[in-house]
Structure 1
Amino acid sequence: MARFRKIEQIPGGGYGAVWRAINLSTGDEVVMKFPLDALDMAPGSEDRRRFEREARYQSLLKHPGIMPIIAMNLKREKPFFAMPVAEGSLQDYLKSGPIPEGEAISIIIDVLYALEYAHQQGVLHRDLKPANLLFLDGRWVISDFGLCRNIDSESTTITQANSAIGSIAYMAPEQFDDAHEVAETADIYSMGQILYHCLTGEVPFPRARIGKLDVKFRYVASRCVAEEPRDRFQSVAEFRRELEFITAPQAEIAPPTTRANELKAKALDGDTESVGTLLELLLDSSDDEIFIKEFTPSLPQELLTQMAADAPLEFERMVRTYDEYSEGGHPFAYADEIADFFARALTAAKHSRPVRHVSLNRIMIVGVSHNRFYVGEVFSREVSRLTAPEDISYVAEILRDDPAGANFMTPYLRRYSLPRPILRALE
């Protein structure tokens, strides 16, 4: 077990005493947190359980945005846990006034990702404030889980009704009534108050004066700090997405087709980075059926080939998404576009058997279901070019499994010299 030597007590810690210390095993400087002397540390006492709960919950939350616990001993008469030394707190940073907008939003969004994770693990913080947001290793992290609660806990012994906890300027109104019964929306309230403080440089007490914010932030801030929990954002993710949306560059919030066409033009002009960005956009927009169906068939051979080479797994996901949207009936002209796209995908996917097989299967299905001679020509042309034994076997298999389809494709296929397995499937 690691051994430590205390150096000096430092401010902070909420319900605990914080000391700078040295880890004698490594020589690293750390921060150690002990319960305050005035607290009752008798086994089973409320104060001891609160301290132990803070250490255990914080140690279980494994996220880059949550202060890690590197050692703890909860069995000794005066328990403790140790953490890395932070460079400072958001409270320290705010002493010089408001934070520039871009930086402030970046800080809040980073913290929201960590808070979203904590909520997913069933942990509410209930004491979010600038003093508990610390700068560690180049990023902001949430610390001091002394007043946290497990959402699924039925315990009422730690927090009794009418016992307010948290720091007044950032605390949700319902915490004054019954801090045990608060939900995720209490932490959202606190983050809204912190957002206000970052942008205005003013402590939001006795209340946040929303009119002092830039107009684009007034709605999101007012939703966060609404008096009634039901009027706030109901999840951290909802709050985060709204904040990301209103602060995103215009190019990122443009209609996806506009953005995709801009990226395609840049990629065709030699901007290789735009190829990857375009593929990311297609994957991020995979639930937008209209966009995927309109734009994907326009991808030229050279971009598909580069996508397949640079990001084969993402390329496969993109092709499979379009394959799903290609199911069903289509106008004849669009059926031809589908066939052409999968022919190009087949050419691009030299090293991806799944993509080749998805492409061959979809071309055949589209040709047969739409009775399209053009698609029959595309299918037979691509089949005649196959050389890999697994591809030849796959085509023979899908022809055998679909006698009607094989019957439709036979006149087109017999115009080419074909491998024997495929010829046998046509008999």
Structure 2
Amino acid sequence: MAGVKLFKIRKLGAGGQGEVWLAREGRSREMIVLKRPLDSVDVSEGSPDRARFEREVRIQSTLRHDGIMPILRIYKTPAGPLFTMPYAETSLEQQLLNGPLTEAESVDIILAIADAVEFAHSEGVLHRDLKPANILYLDGRWVVSDFGLCRDVNSDSVTITQSRTVVGSVAYMAPEQYDDAHEVTESADILSIGRIFYHCLTGRVPFPYFRSELIPAKFRYLITRAVAEDPSARYQTVSEFRQELELLVTGAPDLTPPMERARTLNAESLEGDPEATLSLARLLVEKADDEVFYKDFVPALSAETLREIERRTPREFRQIVSTFDQFSEGSHPFSYTDAIAKFFRDVAFVAPGDDYAIRRLALRRILIVGASHNRFFIGQMFASIVSRIKEVDDILLVASLLREHPDEARFMSFYLRQHSLPTAIMAALPPEGDA
């Protein structure tokens, strides 16, 4: 707009290829935000950097939605293009510096983000850089900002995002963006929303560790599905994610006791119903804080059901096994101790070859529960499992477990010595006659 002068007041931040300033326009006292390219960026006519910046402006200014930060003015100056936006009171990133938010606050924010992103997707725009720093509080509502790394799926241009270029912020970005950022789908933004939800509820940045046990059980399945490493295992549309979240917080409560529901789903799963398998896994994740239900139901799961859960929802499989492992601590009646060992025996054989963490957890629990309860049946079971191990990594795994648990290894020694075992395992056993 000719004749209007901008006054920069102070720098608010920088990232990617742009920097943001608190500013005011002309004689106005109203604070606004000015975004301009970094001085190091090539903004000459026809340059890729200038095209990318102008593309951000064009896309964000045409996405008219209450949940998307509006563009006030666009300027073309000798120093390059710039644009202004309203000044937001705070960002979600700043709010999370004080720790986790309440469930109600978290849900409201995630629903607002989902609504805005769903609209952007309906317009053919993928954000690809959703993170707390880009979620701003403006005039009593949360808005999505910074479309600098977005992709217009209606455009054939690859000038801005070349194939094999990584875009996004590591803690919140989908892993497939490392491979080919230009080919990501809506599910990449869904993963980012899920990770933001995790951060809101736990107060923890979801990197380098994502600890699903910290998520309130009510939201555990929803979030773990949203952030699944495999894009095909996530929600495929924001609408699907949003509707499921709304159902969790506003839907009528399920009046069916979890045990009855679980038994029905288990029977349907055994009959070959894949949706029943997924629903059963979801129920077990959601009820992870119900120790009575877990102790009653989980040991009765067949190897076949466990195999189907692992095949269809490996993340949930690991959560279920880890939760039951926690509930298996301490003393139990002999018959229940045997049930624990049988469950973890099945887990050890169901776990895929490269999932050493779960196989280690299963063998460790059998080792401990057998020794602590002096159960010859479990001693024989453990020795039988070990005798079937052929892979080098699994042999080393067992040997390290025995060395780390010398008292338990002493109990198992009698049973293990009845088999012809690899030298590495035998060497990890206490000497014969060692009491």
TM range (shorter): 0.5 to 0.7
Per the alignment, residue 21 of structure 1 pairs with 23
Q: Does the 8 Å contact 1:159/1:179 carry over to 2?
A: yes
Per the alignment, residue 222 of structure 1 pairs with 224
How far off is 1:98 after superposition? 0.5
CA distance in 1: counterparts of 2:107 and 2:16, whole angstroms: 26
Q: Percent identity?
A: 53
What is the CA deviation profile of residues 329-387 of structure 1, one whole-angstrom value per residue up to 9, with x for unaligned ones?
A: xxxxxxxxxxxxxxxxxxxxxxxxxxxxxxxxxxxxxxxxxxxxxxxxxxxxxxxxxxx
Show the 5 A alignment for 1:111-130: 111-130=113-132
Per the alignment, residue 154 of structure 1 pairs with 156
How far off is 1:150 after superposition? 0.2
Matched residue of 1:168: which SS?
coil
Q: Does the 8 Å contact 1:13/1:33 carry over to 2?
A: no
How far off is 1:77 after superposition? 3.5
What is the CA deviation profile of residues 22-55 of structure 1, one whole-angstrom value per residue up to 9, with x for unaligned ones?
A: 1115432110000001111111111111100111
What is the CA deviation profile of residues 189-216 of structure 1, one whole-angstrom value per residue up to 9, with x for unaligned ones?
A: 1001000000000000124221211112
- Equivalent in 47, 68, 71 of residue 69 of structure 1: 71
Show the 5 A alignment for 1:26-425: 26-74=28-76, 76-248=78-250, 250=252
How far off is 1:11 after superposition? 1.7
1:129 corresponds to which letter in structure 2? Answer: K
Q: Does the 8 Å contact 1:65/1:141 carry over to 2?
A: yes
Q: What residue ranges of structure 2 are gaps of 5+ in the alignment?
A: 256-435
CA distance in 2: counterparts of 1:70 and 1:86, whole angstroms: 13
State the Cα RMSD in Å: 1.8
Matched residue of 1:49: which SS?
helix
What is the CA deviation profile of residues 383-421 of structure 1, one whole-angstrom value per residue up to 9, with x for unaligned ones?
A: xxxxxxxxxxxxxxxxxxxxxxxxxxxxxxxxxxxxxxx
CA distance in 1: counterparts of 2:251 and 2:121, whole angstroms: 29
CA distance in 2: counterparts of 1:113 and 1:152, whole angstroms: 21
What is the CA deviation profile of residues 271-323 of structure 1, one whole-angstrom value per residue up to 9, with x for unaligned ones?
A: xxxxxxxxxxxxxxxxxxxxxxxxxxxxxxxxxxxxxxxxxxxxxxxxxxxxx
How far off is 1:17 after superposition? 1.1
Per the alignment, residue 394 of structure 2 pairs with none
- Which range is displaced more, 95-104 or 24-33? 24-33
What is the CA deviation profile of residues 202-233 of structure 1, one whole-angstrom value per residue up to 9, with x for unaligned ones?
A: 00012422121111211111111111111111
CA distance in 2: counterparts of 1:117 and 1:25, whole angstroms: 36
- Which range is displaced more, 61-70 or 18-27? 18-27
Matched residue of 1:11: which SS?
strand
CA distance in 2: counterparts of 1:75 and 1:227, whole angstroms: 43
Matched residue of 1:68: which SS?
coil
1:135 corresponds to which letter in structure 2? Answer: Y
Aligned length: 254
CA distance in 2: counterparts of 1:242 and 1:12, whole angstroms: 36
CA distance in 1: counterparts of 2:88 and 2:159, whole angstroms: 32
Q: What residue ranges of structure 1 are gaps of 5+ in the alignment?
A: 255-427
CA distance in 1: counterparts of 2:118 and 2:22, whole angstroms: 30
Q: Does the 8 Å contact 2:128/2:188 carry over to 1?
A: yes
Task: Identify if the C-alpha distance between structure 1 residues 105 and 12 changes in structure 2 by more than 3 Å, giving closer, same or farther.
Answer: farther
Q: Does the 8 Å contact 2:42/2:49 carry over to 1?
A: yes
- List, as ranges, runs of 4+ consecutive aligned residues in structure 1 with deviation greater than 3 Å: 74-77
Q: Does the 8 Å contact 1:170/1:204 carry over to 2?
A: yes
Q: Does the 8 Å contact 1:5/1:21 carry over to 2?
A: yes
For normalisation by structure 2, the TM-score amounts to: 0.56
What is the CA deviation profile of residues 51-72 of structure 1, one whole-angstrom value per residue up to 9, with x for unaligned ones?
A: 0011110000101100000001
Q: Does the 8 Å contact 2:135/2:144 carry over to 1?
A: yes
CA distance in 2: counterparts of 1:118 and 1:25, whole angstroms: 35
Q: Does the 8 Å contact 2:44/2:80 carry over to 1?
A: no
How far off is 1:119 after superposition? 0.6
Matched residue of 1:8: which SS?
strand
- Which range is displaced more, 148-157 or 130-139? 148-157
CA distance in 1: counterparts of 2:59 and 2:150, whole angstroms: 8
Task: Identify if the C-alpha distance between structure 1 residues 116 and 76 changes in structure 2 by more than 3 Å, giving closer, same or farther.
Answer: farther
CA distance in 2: counterparts of 1:208 and 1:48, whole angstroms: 37
How far off is 1:75 after superposition? 5.8
What is the CA deviation profile of residues 83-126 of structure 1, one whole-angstrom value per residue up to 9, with x for unaligned ones?
A: 00001110000001110001100110011101110111111100
Matched residue of 1:79: which SS?
strand
- Equivalent in 7, 27, 49 of residue 5 of structure 1: 7
Q: Does the 8 Å contact 1:3/1:23 carry over to 2?
A: yes
